[in-house]
Amino acid sequence: MQALAAASKTVDSLKIVHSLHVYFLLVGDLELPIIYHVHRVRDGNSFATRRIDAIQKGVVVFTMIASFQKEEVGFDHQLPSMPAVPDPELLLSMEDLRERRLIDPRLPRTYRNKVATAKFIPWPIEIRFCEPSNSTNFDKRPASLKYWFRAKGKLSDDEALQRCVAAYTSDLIFLNVSLNPHREKGLKTSSISLDHSMWFHRSFRADEWLLFVISSPTAYNARGFVSGEMFNRKGELVASITQEGLIRKARTPPSPAVSKL
Protein backbone atom coordinates (compact mmCIF):
# COMPACT_ATOMS: atom_id res chain seq x y z
CA MET A 1 0.00 0.00 0.00
CA GLN A 2 2.78 2.44 0.93
CA ALA A 3 4.73 1.72 -2.26
CA LEU A 4 1.65 2.33 -4.40
CA ALA A 5 0.85 5.52 -2.49
CA ALA A 6 4.41 6.77 -3.07
CA ALA A 7 4.21 6.06 -6.80
CA SER A 8 0.76 7.68 -7.11
CA LYS A 9 2.17 10.96 -5.82
CA THR A 10 4.59 11.15 -8.77
CA VAL A 11 2.09 10.91 -11.65
CA ASP A 12 -0.41 13.28 -13.24
CA SER A 13 -3.51 13.41 -11.02
CA LEU A 14 -5.64 12.35 -14.01
CA LYS A 15 -3.80 9.03 -14.24
CA ILE A 16 -4.91 6.26 -11.85
CA VAL A 17 -3.16 2.95 -11.25
CA HIS A 18 -4.65 0.14 -13.34
CA SER A 19 -2.12 -2.62 -12.66
CA LEU A 20 0.74 -3.47 -10.32
CA HIS A 21 3.24 -6.30 -10.12
CA VAL A 22 5.27 -6.86 -6.95
CA TYR A 23 8.23 -9.16 -6.37
CA PHE A 24 9.23 -9.86 -2.77
CA LEU A 25 13.00 -10.31 -2.76
CA LEU A 26 13.92 -10.50 0.93
CA VAL A 27 12.07 -10.77 4.23
CA GLY A 28 11.66 -7.28 5.67
CA ASP A 29 11.97 -6.23 9.30
CA LEU A 30 8.71 -4.87 10.75
CA GLU A 31 10.65 -2.94 13.38
CA LEU A 32 12.67 -0.89 10.88
CA PRO A 33 11.59 1.97 8.60
CA ILE A 34 11.32 1.42 4.85
CA ILE A 35 12.46 3.90 2.20
CA TYR A 36 10.43 3.86 -1.04
CA HIS A 37 12.44 4.92 -4.08
CA VAL A 38 10.22 5.74 -7.08
CA HIS A 39 11.78 5.53 -10.56
CA ARG A 40 10.01 7.42 -13.35
CA VAL A 41 10.17 4.80 -16.09
CA ARG A 42 7.81 6.50 -18.56
CA ASP A 43 5.35 9.39 -18.78
CA GLY A 44 3.10 9.19 -21.83
CA ASN A 45 -0.08 10.96 -22.84
CA SER A 46 -2.38 8.17 -21.66
CA PHE A 47 -0.12 5.96 -19.56
CA ALA A 48 2.68 6.34 -17.02
CA THR A 49 4.94 3.64 -15.60
CA ARG A 50 6.77 3.62 -12.29
CA ARG A 51 9.19 1.22 -10.62
CA ILE A 52 9.26 1.34 -6.85
CA ASP A 53 12.02 -0.16 -4.74
CA ALA A 54 11.44 -0.74 -1.02
CA ILE A 55 14.75 -0.36 0.79
CA GLN A 56 15.76 -1.42 4.30
CA LYS A 57 19.29 -1.04 5.64
CA GLY A 58 20.42 -0.08 2.14
CA VAL A 59 19.07 -3.30 0.57
CA VAL A 60 16.08 -3.63 -1.79
CA VAL A 61 13.58 -5.99 -0.11
CA PHE A 62 10.88 -5.77 -2.78
CA THR A 63 10.28 -4.08 -6.09
CA MET A 64 7.04 -3.06 -7.78
CA ILE A 65 6.12 -2.07 -11.32
CA ALA A 66 2.93 0.01 -11.48
CA SER A 67 1.12 1.33 -14.55
CA PHE A 68 -1.21 4.33 -14.51
CA GLN A 69 -3.81 5.37 -17.09
CA LYS A 70 -6.09 8.30 -17.82
CA GLU A 71 -9.77 7.40 -17.86
CA GLU A 72 -11.19 6.97 -21.34
CA VAL A 73 -14.26 5.55 -23.06
CA GLY A 74 -13.87 1.99 -24.38
CA PHE A 75 -15.43 -1.43 -24.80
CA ASP A 76 -17.17 -2.93 -21.77
CA HIS A 77 -17.93 -6.57 -20.95
CA GLN A 78 -17.66 -8.87 -17.93
CA LEU A 79 -17.64 -12.67 -17.87
CA PRO A 80 -17.31 -13.54 -14.12
CA SER A 81 -20.46 -13.15 -12.05
CA MET A 82 -20.55 -12.42 -8.35
CA PRO A 83 -21.50 -15.55 -6.36
CA ALA A 84 -24.62 -15.60 -4.23
CA VAL A 85 -23.53 -14.83 -0.67
CA PRO A 86 -25.21 -13.35 2.43
CA ASP A 87 -25.24 -9.57 2.70
CA PRO A 88 -22.47 -8.22 4.93
CA GLU A 89 -24.99 -6.78 7.38
CA LEU A 90 -26.08 -10.35 8.19
CA LEU A 91 -22.57 -11.59 8.98
CA LEU A 92 -20.39 -11.40 12.07
CA SER A 93 -17.33 -9.18 12.28
CA MET A 94 -13.92 -10.65 13.11
CA GLU A 95 -14.25 -9.22 16.62
CA ASP A 96 -17.65 -10.92 17.03
CA LEU A 97 -16.24 -14.22 15.75
CA ARG A 98 -13.38 -14.03 18.22
CA GLU A 99 -15.76 -13.45 21.14
CA ARG A 100 -17.94 -16.34 20.03
CA ARG A 101 -14.97 -18.71 19.83
CA LEU A 102 -13.97 -17.85 23.37
CA ILE A 103 -17.19 -19.33 24.73
CA ASP A 104 -18.10 -21.98 22.10
CA PRO A 105 -18.24 -25.35 23.99
CA ARG A 106 -17.83 -27.26 20.71
CA LEU A 107 -14.26 -26.04 20.42
CA PRO A 108 -11.45 -27.66 22.45
CA ARG A 109 -10.60 -25.77 25.62
CA THR A 110 -6.94 -25.67 24.57
CA TYR A 111 -7.93 -23.86 21.38
CA ARG A 112 -10.19 -21.42 23.24
CA ASN A 113 -7.36 -20.66 25.66
CA LYS A 114 -5.04 -20.07 22.72
CA VAL A 115 -7.50 -17.59 21.21
CA ALA A 116 -7.91 -15.83 24.56
CA THR A 117 -4.18 -15.40 25.14
CA ALA A 118 -3.18 -14.54 21.57
CA LYS A 119 -2.43 -10.87 20.98
CA PHE A 120 -5.34 -9.39 19.03
CA ILE A 121 -4.59 -6.32 16.93
CA PRO A 122 -7.62 -5.17 14.89
CA TRP A 123 -6.95 -4.36 11.25
CA PRO A 124 -7.98 -0.96 9.82
CA ILE A 125 -10.14 -3.03 7.46
CA GLU A 126 -13.50 -4.49 8.50
CA ILE A 127 -13.85 -8.08 7.30
CA ARG A 128 -16.92 -10.33 7.39
CA PHE A 129 -16.52 -13.92 6.24
CA CYS A 130 -19.35 -15.31 4.11
CA GLU A 131 -18.91 -18.81 5.55
CA PRO A 132 -17.95 -18.36 9.21
CA SER A 133 -16.41 -21.54 10.59
CA ASN A 134 -16.38 -22.87 14.12
CA SER A 135 -13.49 -25.14 13.20
CA THR A 136 -10.04 -24.81 14.73
CA ASN A 137 -7.01 -23.62 12.85
CA PHE A 138 -5.81 -27.20 12.21
CA ASP A 139 -8.90 -28.39 10.33
CA LYS A 140 -8.72 -28.96 6.58
CA ARG A 141 -10.81 -26.46 4.63
CA PRO A 142 -11.68 -25.87 0.97
CA ALA A 143 -9.09 -24.12 -1.16
CA SER A 144 -11.38 -21.11 -1.43
CA LEU A 145 -12.65 -18.22 0.65
CA LYS A 146 -15.17 -15.41 0.28
CA TYR A 147 -15.46 -12.34 2.46
CA TRP A 148 -16.80 -8.80 2.43
CA PHE A 149 -14.47 -5.96 3.38
CA ARG A 150 -14.39 -2.18 3.66
CA ALA A 151 -12.21 0.44 5.28
CA LYS A 152 -13.14 1.40 8.81
CA GLY A 153 -14.32 4.98 8.60
CA LYS A 154 -15.03 7.33 5.73
CA LEU A 155 -12.26 7.87 3.17
CA SER A 156 -11.64 10.93 1.02
CA ASP A 157 -12.78 10.93 -2.62
CA ASP A 158 -9.19 10.40 -3.80
CA GLU A 159 -9.43 7.41 -6.14
CA ALA A 160 -5.75 6.61 -5.66
CA LEU A 161 -6.43 6.15 -1.95
CA GLN A 162 -9.37 3.82 -2.64
CA ARG A 163 -7.12 1.58 -4.73
CA CYS A 164 -4.32 1.66 -2.16
CA VAL A 165 -6.74 0.36 0.48
CA ALA A 166 -7.91 -2.45 -1.81
CA ALA A 167 -4.27 -3.35 -2.56
CA TYR A 168 -3.55 -3.49 1.18
CA THR A 169 -6.55 -5.74 1.78
CA SER A 170 -5.66 -8.06 -1.08
CA ASP A 171 -2.56 -9.32 0.74
CA LEU A 172 -3.97 -9.86 4.24
CA ILE A 173 -5.30 -13.43 4.02
CA PHE A 174 -4.72 -14.22 0.35
CA LEU A 175 -1.86 -16.74 0.34
CA ASN A 176 -3.17 -18.60 3.42
CA VAL A 177 -6.00 -20.01 1.29
CA SER A 178 -3.47 -22.25 -0.51
CA LEU A 179 -2.74 -23.91 2.85
CA ASN A 180 -6.38 -24.68 3.70
CA PRO A 181 -6.55 -28.20 2.20
CA HIS A 182 -3.34 -29.22 3.98
CA ARG A 183 -4.10 -28.16 7.56
CA GLU A 184 -3.97 -30.85 10.23
CA LYS A 185 -3.45 -31.07 13.95
CA GLY A 186 0.14 -30.45 14.96
CA LEU A 187 1.18 -29.18 11.54
CA LYS A 188 3.15 -25.93 11.66
CA THR A 189 3.75 -24.06 8.44
CA SER A 190 5.62 -21.05 7.15
CA SER A 191 4.64 -18.96 4.16
CA ILE A 192 6.30 -16.08 2.33
CA SER A 193 4.94 -14.11 -0.62
CA LEU A 194 7.02 -14.35 -3.78
CA ASP A 195 5.03 -12.17 -6.16
CA HIS A 196 1.71 -10.36 -6.19
CA SER A 197 -0.17 -8.87 -9.15
CA MET A 198 -3.34 -6.78 -9.25
CA TRP A 199 -5.43 -5.29 -12.04
CA PHE A 200 -8.02 -2.57 -11.40
CA HIS A 201 -10.90 -2.71 -13.89
CA ARG A 202 -13.49 -0.22 -12.64
CA SER A 203 -13.76 2.62 -10.16
CA PHE A 204 -14.99 1.77 -6.65
CA ARG A 205 -15.01 3.01 -3.08
CA ALA A 206 -13.03 0.99 -0.54
CA ASP A 207 -15.10 2.41 2.33
CA GLU A 208 -18.16 0.66 0.89
CA TRP A 209 -18.59 -3.12 1.01
CA LEU A 210 -16.61 -5.11 -1.58
CA LEU A 211 -16.71 -8.89 -1.97
CA PHE A 212 -13.36 -10.69 -2.27
CA VAL A 213 -13.65 -14.16 -3.85
CA ILE A 214 -10.45 -16.22 -3.50
CA SER A 215 -9.47 -19.65 -4.79
CA SER A 216 -6.25 -21.66 -4.87
CA PRO A 217 -6.15 -23.77 -8.06
CA THR A 218 -2.90 -25.51 -7.17
CA ALA A 219 0.02 -25.93 -4.80
CA TYR A 220 3.19 -27.74 -5.81
CA ASN A 221 6.97 -27.67 -5.35
CA ALA A 222 6.62 -25.72 -2.09
CA ARG A 223 4.70 -22.96 -3.88
CA GLY A 224 1.05 -22.07 -3.46
CA PHE A 225 -0.91 -20.13 -6.08
CA VAL A 226 -4.03 -18.07 -5.40
CA SER A 227 -6.29 -15.93 -7.56
CA GLY A 228 -9.03 -13.56 -6.54
CA GLU A 229 -11.77 -11.27 -7.79
CA MET A 230 -13.26 -8.22 -6.11
CA PHE A 231 -16.88 -7.24 -6.79
CA ASN A 232 -18.92 -4.23 -5.69
CA ARG A 233 -22.44 -4.72 -4.38
CA LYS A 234 -23.87 -4.23 -7.88
CA GLY A 235 -21.96 -7.32 -9.01
CA GLU A 236 -19.41 -5.41 -11.07
CA LEU A 237 -15.91 -6.87 -11.22
CA VAL A 238 -13.65 -4.08 -9.98
CA ALA A 239 -10.30 -5.87 -9.57
CA SER A 240 -8.49 -9.15 -10.27
CA ILE A 241 -5.57 -10.42 -8.20
CA THR A 242 -3.04 -13.27 -8.31
CA GLN A 243 -0.27 -14.28 -5.94
CA GLU A 244 2.32 -17.01 -5.62
CA GLY A 245 4.11 -17.76 -2.40
CA LEU A 246 6.48 -20.16 -0.74
CA ILE A 247 4.59 -22.54 1.57
CA ARG A 248 6.50 -25.11 3.62
CA LYS A 249 6.24 -27.22 6.71
CA ALA A 250 7.99 -25.32 9.47
CA ARG A 251 11.41 -26.68 10.13
CA THR A 252 11.78 -28.36 13.53
CA PRO A 253 14.87 -27.17 15.39
CA PRO A 254 17.32 -29.99 16.14
CA SER A 255 17.05 -31.51 19.60
CA PRO A 256 19.91 -30.66 21.96
CA ALA A 257 22.47 -33.41 22.37
CA VAL A 258 21.89 -35.58 25.42
CA SER A 259 24.81 -37.12 27.23
CA LYS A 260 24.72 -40.90 27.55
CA LEU A 261 26.66 -40.77 30.82
Question: Catalytic amino acids?
Answer: 171, 193, 243
Q: Indicate the residue type of 115.
A: V
Strand residue runs (E) in the chain: 15-24, 35-43, 47-56, 59-70, 125-129, 144-151, 189-200, 210-220, 223-232, 237-249
Beta-carbon contacts of 71 under 8 Å, excluding residues fewer than 6 positions away, are 14, 16
Q: In what order do the strands lie in the sheet with 144-151?
A: 35-43, 47-56, 59-70, 15-24, 189-200, 237-249, 223-232, 210-220, 144-151, 125-129
189-208 burial, b for 16+ CB within 10 Å, e for fewer? eeeebbebbbbbbeebbbbe
